[in-house]
């Protein structure tokens, strides 16, 4: 068991894996992990070996090399970043060398404990999938055997590339599962549908890159605001959906209203850091019943979404 100091806890909080996650969700799990001290030149992961751990850099830095340590590094891993996720989750042999660049303290997260964290928090799993997606689409994808790795990391196909939320195809699958469970258990579930107000005008006046930044910011708000039991995804364009298992329309309204306010307050910035205009959303809610089909529930949420727009936008209707 490790005792983490303030600087180490700050490094964990800044890590993409735990971004926007309540520390109480992961702190106990991580304090059960060991802290490894290393010196420059130490090889952490080697090509062709089985890697069983994800390493979070608490101090110092690492470098990643293709094939051998003598090749030019393709990436530097700094404080708050992780390495080893691909081979851990894919249960494959490492395809690159990870070497200590500066003296490091590394939090060692075993495969079993990483999976435990993923199961414990949907937001952690979403953050992890977003990290893995970055790997796939970055210049570093050269060293990934995509025909094998991507097959093992099936979750990547569930993501929307812009926002990091699950995509329409996965939303449809989850909706069908939740609907089936609801019919069997008799417990209600709700669906929230939301749409960015005047988004075409936003794109026309600010540009499509600004529009993308607005959608990315909205995706971040969704991740921060939905409850751990809920699932948020991009339905298409500027429209998003949240599935709320075992929740009534009244429960959903509380989530929706909190979300609406958070979106309105969210600061949006261009890629260069310049401020952009904020956005608002209109929200509609649908609730299941014993007599409703899944299509009826979605239509109910969609109709309430348009009711919110007709009511002046930036509001919720159920």
pLDDT bracket for residue 95 (50, 70, 90): confident
Catalytic residue among 238, 239, 257, 264: 238
Residues 240 and 234: beta-carbon distance below 8 Å: yes
pLDDT, average across residues 96-102: 92
> What is the per-residue pLDDT across 287-316, written as a single tens digit (0 to 9) for each?
999 899 999 999 999 999 999 999 999 999
Asked if residue 244 has pLDDT above 50, the reply is: yes
For the chain, domain boundaries? 6-149, 168-317
Percent of the chain with pLDDT over 90: 54
CATH number of the domain located at residue range(s) 168-317 in this protein: 3.30.70.270
CA 208 from chain center: how many Å?
Answer: 23
CA dist., res. 144 & res. 147, Å (int): 9
Q: Which stretch of 104-108, 138-142, 169-173 has the lowest confidence by average pLDDT?
A: 138-142
Based on the number of CB atoms within 10 Å of its own CB, is 74 exposed (0-12), middle (13-18) or buried (19 or more)? Answer: middle
pLDDT digits (tens, 9 = 90+) for 129-165: 777 766 655 544 444 444 444 444 455 567 887 888 9
What predicted TM-score, i.e. pTM, was given to this entire model?
A: 0.55
d(CA 227, CA 229): 5
CATH architecture group of domain 6-149: Sandwich (2.60)
Spatial distance between the Cα atoms of 187 and 87, rounded to a whole number of angstroms: 39
CA–CA dist 94, 76 (Å, integer)? 17
For the chain, report the end-to-end CA distance as a whole number of angstroms: 49
Task: Determine what percent of the chain is predicted with pLDDT higher than 70.
Answer: 91
Catalytic (active site) residue 238:
yes
- The three state secondary structure string of 191-248 is EEEEEECCHHHHHHHHCHHHHHHHHHHHHHHHHHHCCCCCEEEEEECCEEEEEECCCC
């Amino acid at each position: 068991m490790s005792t983490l100091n303030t600087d180490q806890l700050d490094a964990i909080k800044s890590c993409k894996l735990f971004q926007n996650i309540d520390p109480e969700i992961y702190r106990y799990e991580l304090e059960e992990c060991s802290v490894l001290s290393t010196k420059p030149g130490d090889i952490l992961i080697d090509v062709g070996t089985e890697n069983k751990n994800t390493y979070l850099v608490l101090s110092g830095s690492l470098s990643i090399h293709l094939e051998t340590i003598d090749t030019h590094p393709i990436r530097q891993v700094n404080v708050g970043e992780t390495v080893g996720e691909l081979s851990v989750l894919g249960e494959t042999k490492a395809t690159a060398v990870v070497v200590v660049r500066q003296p490091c303290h590394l939090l060692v997260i075993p495969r079993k404990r990483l999976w435990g964290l993923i199961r414990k928090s949907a937001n952690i799993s979403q953050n992890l999938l977003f990290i893995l997606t970055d790997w796939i689409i970055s210049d570093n994808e050269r060293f990934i055997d995509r025909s094998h790795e991507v097959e093992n990391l099936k979750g990547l196909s569930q993501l929307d590339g812009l926002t990091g939320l699950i995509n329409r195809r996965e939303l449809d699958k989850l909706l069908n599962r939740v609907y089936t469970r609801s019919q069997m258990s008799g417990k209600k579930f709700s669906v929230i549908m939301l749409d960015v107000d005047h988004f075409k005008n936003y794109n026309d006046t600010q540009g499509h890159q600004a529009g993308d930044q607005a959608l990315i910011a909205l995706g971040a708000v969704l991740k921060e605001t939905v409850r751990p039991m809920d699932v948020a995804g991009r339905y298409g364009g500027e429209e998003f959906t949240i599935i709320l298992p075992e929740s009534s329309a009244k429960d959903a309204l509380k989530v929706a209203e909190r979300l609406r306010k958070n979106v309105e307050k969210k600061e949006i910035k261009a890629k260069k850091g310049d401020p952009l205009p904020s956005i608002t959303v209109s929200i509609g809610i649908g609730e299941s019943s014993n007599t409703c089909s899944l299509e009826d529930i979605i239509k109910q949420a969609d109709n309430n979404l348009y009711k919110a727009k007709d009511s002046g936008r930036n509001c919720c209707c159920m």
